């Protein structure tokens, strides 16, 4: 069999301000071969997530200690992929998997990493597997249903409400019988939240004064704050937390690009006075419970009770622009890339 051509984006430079295609280099070379304990996978769907900023490096001083990949390395990503060859005892050719791969047609993996590789449940389409049933979906499902401890009729406020995690969490909160207020960064996102997303209200943090709007919409305070942002909105939510209120810490998109890091919340005393609880959420810890989440989510996806909101770019050439869209806040829903066929490839090859 002729060697497979592997198209690949490598990190060429650290971004200065906005991320662009100039930070990456397009390379074509023979696909790698798996060694003992590894498998070769053809990537089908790529995920774009705020934490990828740590991989490319937030500034020229970025190093491995800060999570940055070396210059010249293939850009990392979470992906849904099909196993093509395997010398790994846990993965067989033909299986569809979710795990840490790279911006390329074919990736070699040992199945390990910060997010370990797992098999996608039978019959789940790739876009669901990388989004609503992937890491972002797990964060939303367990964040809302387990960490937030929702009670019907409570007020639920969420930042980053129209992103990958937020777009799922908003809908799950409504299914739990909560009054939902989403905070997002554009008119289009707010419109989606109150129409398809089912939110009771939405706040555009770019054009509205968030504190004033929260006071108007939550005159008696809020019961749950689901934080995907990590910015000053957390202080505003703590100020309005009702007795027994809960704060779910899921992300920090407002702070990822800032050096040095800004100070944390200034009014944690509000949490004490409300006898409240604040808890962090790391989605990878819930991978062993994927089947539990899928049992709840899949029927609701199939019935239309739950919508998988996606912002999809097609073709590996578009990977840098997809990442730039994410950091510019242009995506509505989960930012994905659907891979095109590598040169000369046949389906499943």
Q: Is pLDDT above 70 for 65?
A: no
Predicted TM-score (pTM) of this structure: 0.92
Q: What own/partner pairs with CB < 8 Å and gap ≥ 24 does 98-102 have?
A: 98/129, 98/130, 98/134, 100/76, 101/41, 101/43, 101/46, 101/76, 101/77, 102/8, 102/43, 102/74, 102/75, 102/76, 102/77
Q: 309-340 pLDDT, tens per residue? A: 999 999 999 999 999 999 888 999 999 999 99
Domain(s) of CATH 3.40.50.720: residues in the chain: 135-284
Q: Is pLDDT above 70 for 1?
A: no
Q: Residue 111: left (phi > 0), alpha (psi -120 to 50), or beta?
A: left
Average pLDDT value for residue range 106-120: 95
Query: Which CATH superfamily groups domain 135-284?
Result: NAD(P)-binding Rossmann-like Domain (3.40.50.720)
Q: Is pLDDT above 70 for 7?
A: yes
Q: CA 346 to CA 146: how far, in whole Å? A: 43
Alpha-carbon separation of residue 190 from 18, 32, 167, 202, 332 (angstroms): 24, 44, 11, 5, 10
Q: Is pLDDT above 90 for 282?
A: yes
Confidence tier at 343 by pLDDT (50, 70, 90): confident
Return phi, psi of residue 259, to 5°: -135, 125
Q: 142-178 pLDDT, tens per residue? A: 999 999 999 999 999 999 999 999 999 999 999 999 9
Alpha-carbon separation of residue 336 from 61, 70, 208, 248, 271 (angstroms): 29, 24, 29, 25, 36
The pLDDT assigned to 16 comes to 83
CA atoms 159, 163, 166, 167: torsion sign:
positive
Q: CA 224 to CA 136: how far, in whole Å? A: 19
Average pLDDT value for residue range 1-27: 89
Give 247 or 343, the one with higher predicted confidence.
247
Peptide bond into 260 cis (omega under 30): yes
5-131+309-338: what fold?
A: Quinone Oxidoreductase; Chain A, domain 1 (3.90.180)
Residues in the chain: 349
Q: Is pLDDT above 90 for 226?
A: yes
Domain(s) of CATH 3.90.180.10: residues in the chain: 5-131+309-338
Q: Is pLDDT above 70 for 349?
A: no
Confidence tier at 265 by pLDDT (50, 70, 90): confident
Q: CA 332 to CA 343: how far, in whole Å? A: 31
**CA nearest neighbour of 9 among 243, 228, 317, 331:** 317
The answer to whether 79 and 99 are in contact (CB under 8 A) is: yes
């Amino acid at each position: 069999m002729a060697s497979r051509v592997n198209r690949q984006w490598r990190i060429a430079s650290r971004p200065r301000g906005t991320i662009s295609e100039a930070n990456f280099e397009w390379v074509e070379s023979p696909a790698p071969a798996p060694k003992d304990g590894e498998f070769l996978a053809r990537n089908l769907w790529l995920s774009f997530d705020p934490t990828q900023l740590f991989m490319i490096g937030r500034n020229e001083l970025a190093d491995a200690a800060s999570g940055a990949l070396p210059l010249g390395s293939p850009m990392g990503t979470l992906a849904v992929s099909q196993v093509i060859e395997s010398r790994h005892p846990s993965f067989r050719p033909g299986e569809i998997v979710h795990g840490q791969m790279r911006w390329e047609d074919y990736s070699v993996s040992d199945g390990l990493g910060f997010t370990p590789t797992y098999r996608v449940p039978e019959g789940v389409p790739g876009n669901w597997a990388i989004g609503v049933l992937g890491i972002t979906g797990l964060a939303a499902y367990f964040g809302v249903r387990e960490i937030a401890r929702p009670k019907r009729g409570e007020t639920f406020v969420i930042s980053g409400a129209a992103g990958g995690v937020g777009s799922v969490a908003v809908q799950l909160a409504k299914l739990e019988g909560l009054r939902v207020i989403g905070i997002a960064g554009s008119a289009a996102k707010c419109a989606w939240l109150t129409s398809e997303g089912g939110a009771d209200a939405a706040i555009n943090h770019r054009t509205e004064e968030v504190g004033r709007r929260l006071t108007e919409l939550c005159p008696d305070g809020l019961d749950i704050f689901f934080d995907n942002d990590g910015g000053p909105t957390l202080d505003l939510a703590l100020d309005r937390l009702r007795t027994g209120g809960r704060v779910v810490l899921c992300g920090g998109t407002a702070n990822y690009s800032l050096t040095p890091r800004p100070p944390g919340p200034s009014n944690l005393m509000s949490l004490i006075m409300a006898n409240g609880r604040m808890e962090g959420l790391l989605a990878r810890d819930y991978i062993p419970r994927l089947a539990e989440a899928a049992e709840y989510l899949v029927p609701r996806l199939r019935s239309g009770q739950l919508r998988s909101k996606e912002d999809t770019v097609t073709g590996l050439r578009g990977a840098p622009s997809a990442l730039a869209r994410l950091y510019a806040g242009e995506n509505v829903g989960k930012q994905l890339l659907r891979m095109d066929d590598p040169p000369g490839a046949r389906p499943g090859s």
